[in-house]
Amino acid sequence: MKQVTSQHDVQPEKVGSITIGRALPNAAAKFVGPIMMLDHLPRRVIAPGEIPEPDGSFAHPHRGIATFSYVLEGGLVHADSTGGYGTISAGGVQWMKAGNGIVHDEMLPADLRKNGGTTHCFQFWINLPAKNKAEPAAYMPAPTEDLPVAALPSGQASLKALLGTYEGNRSPIPTYANEFIWHVRIEPMGSARVDLPRGLHAAGFLPGQGAIVGGTGVAAQRLFFLDEDGAEVEIVNASADPLDVLLFGGEPILEPVASRGPFVMNTEAELNDAFREFREGKYGQITYPPEVA
Please, what is the end-to-end C-alpha distance for the chain in angstroms? Answer: 50
Q: How far apart are CA 200 and CA 202, in angstroms?
A: 6
Does residue 280 form part of some domain?
no
Does residue 265 form part of some domain?
no
Give percent of the chain with pLDDT exceeding 90: 90
**Domain enclosing residue 26, as ranges:** 4-254
pLDDT at 216: 98
Q: Per residue in 183-192, pLDDT tens?
A: 999 999 999 9
- Helix ranges restricted to H, the chain: 110-115, 130-133, 268-279
Does residue 290 form part of some domain?
no
pLDDT at 19: 87
Contact 202, 212 (CB under 8 A): no
Contact 234, 35 (CB under 8 A): no
Does residue 151 form part of some domain?
yes
Structural domain total, the chain: 1
Mean pLDDT lowest among 15-24, 38-47, 219-228 = 15-24
Does residue 292 form part of some domain?
no
Q: Per residue in 49-89, pLDDT tens?
A: 998 888 999 999 999 999 999 999 999 999 999 999 999 99
The answer to pTM > 0.85 is yes
Residue 130 DSSP class = H
Sign of CA dihedral 253, 258, 260, 265: negative
Does residue 19 form part of some domain?
yes
CATH label of the domain that carries residue 77: 2.60.120.10
Does residue 272 form part of some domain?
no
Does residue 293 form part of some domain?
no
